[in-house]
Amino acid sequence: QSFSEMNQEAVLAEIGKYPARRVCITGGEPCLQVTEAFLAALHGRGYVVHMESNGTLVPPPGVDWLTLSPKSPFLGGEGALAVKECQELKLLYPSNPSLFDDVRADYRFLQPIDAEGKTKENTIATIQYICDHPQWRLSVQMHKMLDIK
């Protein structure tokens, strides 16, 4: 994979080539790069802004939909989240979802860990946990199920 660094205007020009009206900002930790001014520029062009963050930093004002997806070491019980409210909380499983009981989320998703030789076992465990804790929903990586690279 390759990439090129782009300034705000170049990013806006690039996404303007597509008909979608929702922009999802993810990858690494977007709160390290995204500014309130950039979000305002997106809104000014009619975009709805979705951000997926690990929750270690508070996002700038202007995010319309926040997915909080904490990764290790949080799943091991270490560290602290800076964000305690979101539209969507998404965790990998197996883990300890009760560590995030204090997070206010409109939706809670568990995603089975896709691990060599353990994917089926993790999926079964995730579904069982959801059956026992119905406030959680199943999240799957459809592209992996369909073998789309």
Render pLDDT for 48-82 as a digit per residue (tens, 0 to 9): 999 999 999 999 999 999 999 998 665 555 667 89
Q: Which residue has the higher pLDDT, 27 or 91?
A: 91
Q: What is the pLDDT of residue 71?
A: 80
Q: What is the pLDDT of residue 77?
A: 56
Please tell me whether residue 116 adopts helix, strand or coil conformation.
coil
Closest Cα partner for 79 from 104, 54, 59, 98? Answer: 54
Mean pLDDT: which of 23-27, 92-96, 125-129 is highest?
Answer: 125-129
- Reported pTM: 0.88
75 sits in which H/E element: none
Confidence of residue 27 (pLDDT cuts 50, 70, 90): confident
Alpha carbons within 13 angstroms on the beta-carbon side of residue 32 total 6
Helices (H), the chain: 8-15, 36-44, 119-132, 142-145
Count of Cβ atoms closer than 10 Å to residue 38 Cβ: 17
CA 107 to CA 125: how far, in whole Å?
20
Average pLDDT over residues 114-134: 94
